[in-house]
Amino acid sequence: MRTKVLSPFWVLFILTGLNLFNYLDRFVLSAVLSPLQKELHLNDGDAGRLVTAFMIGYFLTSPVFGWLGDRFSRKWLIAAGIFVWSLGTLLTGFAPTFASMIAFRVLVGLGEASYATISPSLISDRYGPEKRNNALTIFYVAIPVGAALGTILGGVIAAKWDWRHAFIWAGTPGLLLALVLLPFAEAERGHAEGRAAEAAKKPAVRDIVNLFRVSDYVLVVLGYTAYTFALGAFGHWGPTFLHRVHGVAVDRAGEFFGAVLVVAGLVGTLLGGFAATAWQKRNPAGYAWTLGFSALVAVPLAFAALVINGAFGSMSFLAAAMFFLFLSTGPVNTLILETVPINLRASAMAVSIFMIHLFGDMWSPEIVGRLADSSGGDLQKAVLILPVMLLVASVLWLSLAVKTARAHRKHHSR
């Protein structure tokens, strides 16, 4: 009997729900850092290295999954990824030593690489250009919501029982959810645009390497790298910063950070994505302008959040900065997919993941931790590197917007 192809709605609904669990599992760690460090006797640099370990599994394997995702059945690759990241999360709760925890975080990263690389290409095959950014925006709403749930639930469970239970409860559901897509058929590549023949062309390795010759794609990814450097360190050190610098209790810091992620992330992601779609219809550089201006406005807000005296002021500016940062979530991923040939979308997403983590948040939590260690534990000084990286991101994305606008004017002046 022929298997059924899911409608665009159900593809988006299921993949968004799975993405929520993806980020929930990832962000449990930031909520339980303090008790975890205490039990395992870790300094700030070692705590940052746990994120580095995750990123090694994540970014090193993403090009492999991108290559596989442009050639083979994506639902099986996604199922394997969900199972592996869930197993890694579950095992983290049983880790007896720092070394074993490092190994389990690598496993989590490996599983998430498959999902994050391949899922957007499935969505792009069900939604055409006029609806794709809105669909991807909804998909990526799972980032703030999942991160918030991971932060909140991690803090609550750790306070009620211990930090190990937080990982166990977070990882267990995914072992079953890995099966959800397997009964259904997947749409042809290029289906949404009627370009199945073009999408069916198997890319060679040189085609993937040539992505670095697509200037629009390179500007998107470089800006995304600087942005990810900052956001990754914010996400990792945020609750600890509030606890250590402003004396906010561990569970309250986690709950606040989680609440901000839910509200600022949900509203910011949706507003930024839908506004960018409307802007793009009137201006071919609409997506890029959204990226550049959102990052630029976040720079002074982030700086104020890190230097101001008093917990209330710091929390207020932090919430505002995160709102503007999340405006870019949908458009940046849409541009990654739409600036490359249609048969390279999974590979383009994979190369992007590789770049933003190799040069971005793979190292930024540890860099901040090492800077804090070298300054006598002064975390407040260490985090000031983050607004600088946001400024770099805004410059690169605004450059793309200007380039796109000029190319459009030149084309229509002929």
CA dihedral 283, 285, 289, 290 (to 10 degrees): 80
The domain ranges of the chain are: 8-180+196-413
Alpha carbons within 13 angstroms on the beta-carbon side of residue 396 total 20
Strand partners, 5: 185
CATH class, 8-180+196-413 region: mainly alpha
3-class DSSP state of 327: coil
DSSP state of 173: T
The CA-atom distances, in angstroms, between 253 and each of 51, 54, 312 are 19, 23, 12
Cα gap 360→222, rounded to integer Å? 10
Q: What is the largest CA-CA distance in the chain?
A: 69
Closest CA to 239 of 86, 25, 28, 9: 28
Q: Hey, how many other C-beta atoms are within 10 angstroms of the C-beta on 381? A: 16
In our burial notation (b when 16+ CB lie closer than 10 A, e otherwise), range 322-331 reads: bbbbbbbbbb
Cα gap 318→305, rounded to integer Å? 5
Q: Write the single-letter amino acid at 105.
A: R
Residue 128 φ/ψ, nearest 5 degrees: -75, 175
Burial of 214 (0-12, 13-18, 19+ CB in 10 A): middle
Closest CA to 272 of 329, 327, 331: 327
**Residue 353, Cα to own-chain centre: how many angstroms?**
9
Residue corresponding to tokens 């459009």: 408
Here the tokens at position 335 are 């541009």
Cα gap 341→35, rounded to integer Å? 47
The CA-atom distances, in angstroms, between 212 and each of 55, 199, 216, 217 are 22, 20, 9, 7
Alpha carbons within 13 angstroms on the beta-carbon side of residue 307 total 10
Closest CA to 345 of 211, 226, 212, 187: 211
Residue corresponding to tokens 């997919």: 337
Q: Hey, how many other C-beta atoms are within 10 angstroms of the C-beta on 197? A: 11
Closest CA to 361 of 49, 35, 21: 49
Contacts of 370 (CB under 8 A, 6+ apart): 44, 45, 48
DSSP state of 188: P
The pLDDT profile of the chain, 414 residues, written as one tens digit per residue, is: 456 766 778 888 888 888 888 888 777 887 787 788 878 887 777 777 787 788 788 878 888 888 787 777 778 888 888 888 889 888 988 888 888 888 888 888 888 888 888 888 888 888 877 788 888 888 888 887 887 788 788 878 877 788 888 888 888 887 887 777 776 767 666 666 656 545 556 777 788 888 999 999 999 999 999 999 998 888 778 888 888 888 777 777 877 877 787 788 889 989 999 999 999 888 888 899 999 999 999 999 999 988 888 888 888 998 899 899 989 988 999 999 888 888 788 889 889 988 988 888 878 888 888 888 887 777 888 888 889 999 999 999 999 999 988 887 776 666
What is residue 1's predicted lDDT score, i.e. its pLDDT? Answer: 44
Cα gap 75→58, rounded to integer Å? 19
Closest CA to 143 of 280, 239, 268, 302: 268
Judge whether 166 and 254 are in contact, CB under 8 Å.
no
E strand or H helix at 349, and its extent? helix 345-356
